[in-house]
């Protein structure tokens, strides 16, 4: 259990909520009545942004019963709490929540990685943007070749 989750465990006890911690499952805490509590630490340059992986968001969105997001800012003692349905409905400030797109890890040759980093810096694009653009071009060329008689 990390420090933020420990703060949430203490807060839940103070609220009179008996909840079980789930180290490797979503949500982080489940109360005896089935209510879930997903704990987040607000991050970001301006503060106030929480992060859900694509998989985590999908899991939480499918769950039955109430789920609450319990957010702590860096040094806060009291959390900000809102219903996960507000995340799904986008009823909260859009800068609060970042839901990652599905991602893939790809191992590449160190020399190719060096070249991609240089090219990304030259074009002022992220490596992800550069790789996505290159893959789109490559796939379009492959599809064109496949269509040739």
Query: pLDDT per residue over 126-136, tens digit each?
Result: 877 888 888 88
Q: Give the predicted TM-score (pTM) of the model.
A: 0.63
| pLDDT at res. 94 | 42
The third-level CATH classification (topology) of the domain covering 3-99 is Trna Endonuclease; Chain: A, domain 1 (3.40.1350)
- In this structure, the number of other CB atoms found within 10 A of the CB of residue 39 comes to 25
| pLDDT at res. 72 | 87
| pLDDT at res. 95 | 42
Please name every residue paired with 53 in a beta bridge, in sequence order, or none if there are none.
none
Nearest to 94 by CA among 35, 44, 36, 27: 44
| pLDDT at res. 5 | 95
Domain ranges of the chain: 3-99, 110-147
Q: With a cut of 50, which residues of the chain have pLDDT below it?
A: 93-95
Instruction: Locate the DSSP E strands across the chain.
Output: 19-21, 29-31, 36-41, 50-52, 67-72, 80-83, 97-99
């Amino acid at each position: 259990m990390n420090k933020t989750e420990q703060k949430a465990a203490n807060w839940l006890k103070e609220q009179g909520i008996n909840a079980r911690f789930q180290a490797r499952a979503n949500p982080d805490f489940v109360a005896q009545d089935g209510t879930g509590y997903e704990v987040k630490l607000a991050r970001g340059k301006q503060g106030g942004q929480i992060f859900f992986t694509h998989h985590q968001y999908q899991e939480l969105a499918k769950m039955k019963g109430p789920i609450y997001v319990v957010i702590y800012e860096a040094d806060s003692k009291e959390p900000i709490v809102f219903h996960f349905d507000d995340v799904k409905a986008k009823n909260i400030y859009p800068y609060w929540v970042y839901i990652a797109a599905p991602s893939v890890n790809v191992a590449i040759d160190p020399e190719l990685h060096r070249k991609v980093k240089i090219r990304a810096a030259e074009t002022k694009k992220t490596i992800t943007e550069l790789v996505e653009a290159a893959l789109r071009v490559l796939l379009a060329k492959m599809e064109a070749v496949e269509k040739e008689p």
